[in-house]
């Protein structure tokens, strides 16, 4: 089991959500976050006062998947989130120790 954490451009969220659903992902957690990478921030100007805003709004998606779905899910995210410009985001994949479904007490692949 893996936890896929993707940080993407907010306006791509609907596409990513649909692409993941198409490959069989049944649930996800979405958080509005801020951050910067190579894109860096942007500048704002108020009556000539310039402010550099380092942290840009992004959306973080967390998806838990069974091992044989990892490749397909990552491909789906890359295809749907990609604009080709800096700032498209990153995908982090981590091992999942255990998963529980609270309602039934199921664990492991069954709980995903």
Partner 1 sequence: MTKNKNALVFCAAVAAGIAPGVVHAQALEDGSTAWLLTSTALVLFMTLPGLALFYGGLVRSRNVLSVLMQCFAICCVVSVLWFAFGYSLAFTDGGNAGMLGGLSKAWLAGVELDSVSGAIPETVFVMFQMTFAIITPALIVGGFAERMRFAAMLAFSVLWLLVVYLPVTHWVWGGGWLASIGFRDFAGGAVVHVNAGVAALVAALVLGNRTGFPATPMPPHSLPMTVMGASMLWVGWFGFNAGSALTAGGAAGMAMLVTHLAAASGSLAWTTMEWLKFGKPSVLGIVTGMVAGLGTITPAAGFVGPFGGFVIGLVAGVVCFWATQLIKRRLQIDDSLDVFPVHGVGGFTGLLLTAVFSSTALDGLGLGEATMLGQLGVQLIGAVATLVWCGVASYVILKLVNVALPLRVTREQENEGLDLVLHGERGYST
Contacts to partner 1 by CB under 8 A: 44-49, 51-53
47 close to 24: Cβ distance less than 8 angstroms: no
Closest CB to partner 1 among 47 and 85?
Answer: 47
Q: How far is the CB of 105 from partner 1 (least distance, A)?
A: 36
Closest CB to partner 1 among 10 and 41?
Answer: 41
Q: How far is the CB of 35 from partner 1 (least distance, A)?
A: 17
Q: How far is the CB of 53 from partner 1 (least distance, A)?
A: 7
Backbone phi, psi, residue 47, to 5°: 50, 40
Closest CB to partner 1 among 43 and 94?
Answer: 43
Helix residue ranges per DSSP H, the chain: 13-22, 70-81
13-43 per-residue burial string, b: 16 or more CB within 10 A, e: under 16: bebbbebbeeeebeebebeeeeeeeeeeeee
């Amino acid at each position: 089991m893996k936890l896929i954490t993707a940080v993407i451009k907010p306006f791509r969220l609907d596409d990513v959500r649909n692409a993941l659903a198409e490959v069989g992902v049944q649930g996800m957690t979405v958080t509005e976050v801020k951050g910067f990478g190579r894109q860096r921030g942007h500048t704002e100007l108020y009556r000539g006062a310039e402010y550099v805003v380092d942290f840009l709004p992004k959306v973080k998606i967390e998806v838990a998947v069974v091992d044989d779905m990892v490749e397909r899910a990552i491909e789906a995210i890359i295809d749907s989130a990609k604009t080709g410009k800096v700032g498209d985001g990153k995908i982090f994949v981590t091992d999942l120790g255990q998963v529980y479904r609270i309602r039934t007490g199921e664990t492991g692949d069954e709980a995903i």
